[in-house]
Copies of this chain bind each other. A is one copy, B any other.
Amino acid sequence: MKYTKATNYALHIMAYFVKQEGTDNLSLQPLASHMNISPTYLSKILTQLVKADLIQSTPGANGGYSLRKTKTEISFYDVIQAIEGSGALFTCEMDENRTCQIEKVMQDAEAKMVNHLKEKRLVDVV
A96 to chain B, nearest CB (A): 14
Q: Specify the main secondary structure of chain A where it touches its partner.
A: helix
Specify which chain B residues have a CB less than 8 angstroms from the CB of A34 in the assembled complex.
none
Specify which chain B residues have a CB less than 8 angstroms from the CB of A90 in the assembled complex.
2-3, 7-8
Q: B8–A76 contact, CB under 8 A?
A: no
The size class of the interface chain A forms with chain B is 20 to 34
Some 5 contacts from A to B, beta carbons below 8 A apart, are: A7-B90, A8-B92, A76-B106, A101-B124, A101-B125
Chain A residues near B (Cβ < 8 Å): 1-4, 7-8, 11-12, 15, 76, 84, 87, 89-92, 101-102, 104-106, 108-110, 112-117, 120, 124-125
